[in-house]
Chains A and B, each alone.
Chain A
Amino acid sequence: MTLSKFSQWAAWAWVVTILAAYLAQFRDLLSSLLRIAS
Chain B
Amino acid sequence: MSGLALLFLTAAALGYGALLLRACGVLADLAPRERAPWSFALGFGALGWLLFWPAAAHGLSPWVMPGVLAPGLVGLSLLRGGWSRPTKPSNITAALLCLLAAVAVLDLLQALAPPADADSGAYHFALPKLFLAQGGLIFQPLAVEGAVPLLPQMTSMAALGLGGEQGMTLWAMVSGWGSAWLVWAISRRWLSSEWALALALAWKTIPAVIYAAGTGQVEVRTAMFVTIGTLAVAEATVTGRIRWLAVAGLACGFFMAAKFPGLVFAGAVGLTILTLGPQRLRGAVLFSAAAVVAGCQWYGWNWWHSGDPVFPMLWAWLPHRAEGLWSPEAAALFAHAFIGIELAVPRDPLWLVLYPFKATLAPLDAFEGGRSGLGVLPLLLLPFAVWGGWRAWRQPGRLGVALLVLGIAYAVWFLFGPSQRMRHFLPLLPVLLIALTVAAIRVRNMRAPLVAAFAATLAIQIGAQGVFSLKFMRTIGQDRDTFLSEGLPGYEGARWINGNLPADVKVFNSLRWLNYVLERPYFYAHPLYQNLVITADGNNDVARFWRQLRQQEITHLFFLDRSLSGFPLGIDATAVFSAQLTALGCAKELYRGQAVRQLSRTLPDLGGSTFPISVMELLPENCPLELKTP
A residues apposed to B, CB below 8 Å: 4, 7-8, 11-12, 14-15, 18-19, 21-23, 25-26, 29, 32-33, 36
Contact = CB atoms under 8 A, between A and B. Distances in A.
A22 B369 CA distance: 11
B361 A32 contact: no
Given A15-B453, A25-B370, A32-B606, 6 more contacts: A12-B452, A18-B380, A19-B456, A22-B460, A36-B605, A36-B606
A27 B370 CA distance: 11
Interface in B360-380: 360-363, 369-370, 376, 379-380
Contacts of A36: 603, 605-606
Given A14-B383, A15-B456, A36-B605, A22 B445 contact: no
A18 B484 CA distance: 38
B380 A15 contact: yes
Contacts of B376: 18-19, 22
Contacts of B362: 21, 25
A25 B452 contact: no
A11 B603 CA distance: 36
A8 B451 CA distance: 13
Nearest to B445: A4
A11 B445 CA distance: 10
Contacts of B445: 4, 7-8
Contacts of B605: 36
B354 to A, nearest CB: 14
Contacts of B68: none
Interface in B259-304: none
Contact of A22 (B360, B384, B449): B360
Contact of A8 (B361, B449, B460): B449
A11 B360 contact: no
Contacts of B380: 14-15, 18-19
Contacts of A4: 445
Contacts of B94: none
B607 to A, nearest CB: 10
A27 B527 CA distance: 35
B449 A25 contact: no
Contacts of A12: 448-449, 452
27 contacts: A4-B445, A7-B445, A7-B446, A8-B448, A11-B383, A11-B384, A11-B450, A12-B452, A14-B380, A15-B380, A15-B449, A18-B379, A18-B380, A19-B380, A19-B453, A19-B460, A21-B362, A22-B379, A22-B460, A23-B460, A25-B362, A25-B363, A25-B369, A32-B606, A33-B467, A33-B603, A36-B603
A36 B602 CA distance: 12
A18 B357 CA distance: 10
Contacts of B360: 22
Contacts of A32: 603, 606
A23 B376 CA distance: 9
Interface centre among A11, A26, A33, A36 (most CB of B within 10 A): A11
Given A33-B467, A33-B603, A21 B361 contact: yes
A22 B452 contact: no
Q: At the interface, is chain B mostly helix, strand, loop or mixed?
A: helix
B446 A8 contact: yes
A18 to B, nearest CB: 5
A19 B456 CA distance: 8
Nearest to B464: A26
A33 B606 CA distance: 9
Contacts of B379: 18, 22
B477 to A, nearest CB: 22
A9 to B, nearest CB: 10
A28 to B, nearest CB: 10
Interface centre among B450, B453, B467 (most CB of A within 10 A): B453
B456 A11 contact: no
Contact of A11 (B361, B369, B446, B467): B446
Given A18-B380, A19-B456, A25 B603 contact: no
A26 B369 CA distance: 11
Interface centre among A4, A7, A26 (most CB of B within 10 A): A7
Contacts of A23: 460
A21 B605 CA distance: 27
A22 B464 CA distance: 13
B361 A22 contact: yes
Nearest to A13: B449
Contacts of A18: 361, 376, 379-380
Nearest to B604: A36
Contacts of A8: 445-446, 448-449
B374 to A, nearest CB: 11
A22 B380 CA distance: 10
B344 to A, nearest CB: 15
A6 to B, nearest CB: 11
Nearest to A19: B456
Interface in B594-627: 603, 605-606
B401 to A, nearest CB: 28
B470 to A, nearest CB: 10
Interface in B413-460: 445-446, 448-450, 452-453, 456, 460
A10 B105 CA distance: 38
A10 to B, nearest CB: 8
B581 to A, nearest CB: 42
Contacts of A33: 467, 603
